Amino acid sequence: MTTTVRAWLIDDSPSSRLQARLGRAWRITGALSRNPLAVVGAAIILVLILTAIFAPFIATHGPLKQDLTQRLLAPGAANWMGTDELGRDIWSRVVYGARITLVIVAMVAILAAPAGLIIGAVAGYFGGWTDRILMGITDVFLSMPKLILALALVAALGPGIENAIIAIAITSWPGYARIARAETLTFKNSEFIAAIRLQGASAMRVILGHVLPLCTSSMIVRVTLDMAGIILTAAGLGFIGLGAQPPLPEWGAMIARGRSFILDQWWVATMPGFAIIIVSLGFCFLGDGLRDVLDPKSGEQH
């Protein structure tokens, strides 16, 4: 059974579109699984996702349950990562924090990547004034440091996780627009684009059907690599108190609260810090692996 499925996937002459597409996905997955760092990264991300989904089963305590008699306990059998100043179990809070982190990362990717992709592709494809205006706007956003711009936006919109997501999305699309534009320029004058234009295709069809598919692989790589930065920015906003609001178990906010006890009760700030580092690393590893596999220059083989 497995051998027939495999043979069907790697068939040299696929008999349907679906088979051709699945075959390509299979070859990319295969190449990815031969890259040890990418596998480690993917495993970390998978653990993060599973943790977020099954948080109620993995957590030993309620993430918001306070017990002032149990405050600031060192890690031990009952509280695997110790407790914080309100007696909440840090392990459970870190586990539930995975949900918040995942939501932030996913929402930013969903909001910022397509926006940047389309703006960049439109600017690159049409050129001229369209390009100048769109890239001018992009440069305005790029000229400000990400965290400072996000801070200003959150300060204006009001603190909170939704506003943090919006602020991070607004600060991260210009980078994607730049990449999409550069990619578009490299093959805008190629013959396969000329050929589809000669068939009478509208500009929208050319951009959506022919330009964007070629930008996506570098975009996926870039977004994956940026995930680490997004997590850090979200944590930074949480740390300053402009991101997730108490009592939400957001990792950055947890570090901020543990700062006061960092010398005597080091685990309060350190445990969520580990979580941030590991997840950021996971995204970096996966992004690097994806870049090796999806790089447009070696992409021909897949």
Contact residues toward other proteins (CB under 8 A) are 12-17, 19-20, 24, 190-192, 194-201, 205, 209-210, 213-214, 299-301
Residue whose CB is less far from other proteins, 49 or 203? 203
DSSP 19-54: HHHHHHHHHHHHHHHT-HHHHHHHHHHHHHHHHHHT
Minimum CB separation from other proteins for residue 203, in Å? 10
**DSSP single-letter state for residue 89:** B
Residue whose CB is less far from other proteins, 264 or 300? 300
Residue 24 phi, psi dihedral angles, 5° rounding: -65, -45
Minimum CB separation from other proteins for residue 175, in Å? 23
Residue whose CB is less far from other proteins, 18 or 77? 18
Minimum CB separation from other proteins for residue 196, in Å? 7
Minimum CB separation from other proteins for residue 24, in Å? 7
d(CA 161, CA 227): 17
Minimum CB separation from other proteins for residue 216, in Å? 9
Provide the sign of the torsion angle of the four alpha carbons 30, 33, 38, 39, taken in this order.
Answer: positive
Residue whose CB is less far from other proteins, 31 or 168? 31
d(CA 107, CA 166): 9
Residue whose CB is less far from other proteins, 260 or 298? 298
CA 180 to chain centre: 17
CA 124 to chain centre: 25
